[in-house]
Structure 1
């Protein structure tokens, strides 16, 4: 497989991942918004958001979205620590992740 066909294959895989990635970003947004509004986070929502952030941190770099990987990792770390995440910090990371993927998801 040459470099061109490898890039084409990766691009095709990414196109198939776009809807799922949008859904995952939506759940991270929901978690950040909920935390900002209520200053609480249900364990199930936190677990889902942590899982999604982990998956995104592990996969986005494969598609060349290294900034997005860094933001997803920051969300993962924020959710992984014991205690309630800082709402403003989680909001910043989710917004940065959304912005870093905006063009790729259109």
Structure 2
């Protein structure tokens, strides 16, 4: 069962859900951008400058969070996202390497 913020545990991460989240070019770009940051780096959702409305950005990050790709934390009037490197490497070995090799 996901935690109160909607983050699934490592064991709950489902490959089909992760791949579905990554199928969208904007969400794939967010994950790719987070891979280029230092591990554990957090970025606000607005920092990605996605060419969509604020409500659509919220939707995209909810999909990423519920798939288990990112962890989001509240920072006042915004949210910051970090890539779940360790959890993803444990559950889906090699997935992040594939994304890194295909930005």
Which TM-score applies when normalising by structure 2?
Answer: 0.35
Higher relative contact order at CA 8 Å, sep ≥6: structure 1 or structure 2?
2
Greater Rg by CA: 1
Q: Which has the higher strand share?
A: 2
